[in-house]
Amino acid sequence: GAVVSQHPSRVICKSGTSVKIECRSLDFQATTMFWYRQFPKKSLMLMATSNEGSKATYEQGVEKDKFLINHASLTLSTLTVTSAHPEDSSFYICSARDSRGANYGYTFGSGTRLTVV
């Protein structure tokens, strides 16, 4: 089945530094990838939609200069949290949609727990 690899699974960084999270579709091509943020005991909040070869579409209230998204190839999207602050600490999950069509569904990465100290 479809597999999405997300790396790193856990990262601790100092306030003011930047952190890059990678999301790779391993056995399928993903023209669209999604980045979510999940707060404790809450559901997934869509941050942005990442389209291969074009600019990401950000949801209302998400700062595009703070959460930089790059989707350089059909199998890789990256999320960079710039100038991280403690309030950015959260669980970030990516999801990829198989480009073969809607019937193939959406597959999630294993998530990245970011702690900013």
Least distance CB 88 / other proteins (angstroms): 19
Enumerate residues 20-49 that contact other proteins by CB under 8 A. Answer: 32, 34, 36, 41-46, 49
Residue with tokens 């942005």: 48
Residue in this structure with the two tokens 């597999």, named with its chain if needed? 3
Stretch binding other proteins (CB under 8 A), from 12-20, 61-69, 71-79, 99-107: 99-107
**38 and 90 Cβ atoms separated by less than 8 Å:** yes
Per CB under 8 A, the segment of 11-19, 62-70, 77-85, 107-115 that binds other proteins is 107-115
Q: Which token pair is 88?
A: 């950015």
The counts of H helices and E strands in the chain are: 0, 11
Cβ-based nearer residue to other proteins, 13 or 104: 104
